Amino acid sequence: MRRLSIRWMGSAQSWMRSHLWLGLLSCPFIFFHSGLHLGSGLSAWTMWTYLVVFVTGVLGACLQHFMPRFTTSLVLNETIYGNMESIRAELLKKADDLLEPFPRKEKKALSKSSSASSDPFISVAVAEPDEDYGDQLRQRYDEIIEPYLAKQNSYSHILNSVRTSQEFFADLQAGMPEPISKVIAALEKICKEKRDLDRQSFLHRILQGWLVVHIPASALLIVLGAIHGWKALHYH
């Protein structure tokens, strides 16, 4: 019985096509009904609301048709919208794990002081050259990379731009030893995946944003149309 009712109702795609075609056909009928005038009072409110519904509906149909193709070409690592936050958190964890061999200065100083206090005759070893490079990487990570990965939809960040991101990582790579250079390359790849997530989120908001206007305007149009019909039936 349930299958028969679903078949009778038709698919969502069929309903969407019917909705679009009826919406397009309604435009000439409504304007002929109004005598090509917007009218005044309730009629004007109804006509302006209908125009908002019609324009946002056409805009939404165009977005639904072209945006998925545009998203596929622009976002290389496309994912399910509902999983974006968990993927972003996973990318941040991967980046933190990469920086684990390069502790922050306060932790490094604490470990050195504890080792020196355990044996006063052991002097603190002079820092190796790679240690300075690690400190530079840690500083750049704490100031720029980590805040970018931690914040969702950070559109204004310098790493959100392909050009500035490439310049940043190229500058960071300059003169770095090979082990640290590999870490930087992995961080750049992670930031690129995060940038794809932000792009997909932005495009998804555009794709669904028209509904914020279209649905309330459609509900208002139904109410105004019902009042307009009631007044027309009871007009003397």
Domain boundaries, the chain: 2-74+207-233, 82-206
What pLDDT sits at residue 46?
A: 86
> Could you give the CA distance from residue 86 to residue 32 in angstroms, rounded to a whole number?
53
Q: Which two tokens stand for residue 233?
A: 């039936």
Whether 198 and 205 have beta carbons less than 8 Å apart is answered as: no
The residue behind tokens 């998925």 is 68
Give the type of residue at 62: C
* Per-residue b or e along 24-41, where b marks 16 or more CB atoms closer than 10 Å to that residue's CB: eeeeeeeeeeeeeeeeee
Predicted TM-score (pTM) of this structure: 0.63
> Could you give the CA distance from residue 185 to residue 192 in angstroms, rounded to a whole number?
11
pLDDT in tens, the chain (236 residues): 445 444 545 566 777 777 777 877 787 777 777 766 666 778 888 888 988 988 888 888 887 777 777 666 666 666 676 778 888 899 999 999 999 888 776 554 444 444 444 444 333 333 344 567 888 899 999 999 999 999 888 888 999 888 999 999 999 998 888 889 999 999 999 999 898 888 888 888 887 788 888 889 989 988 988 888 887 777 75
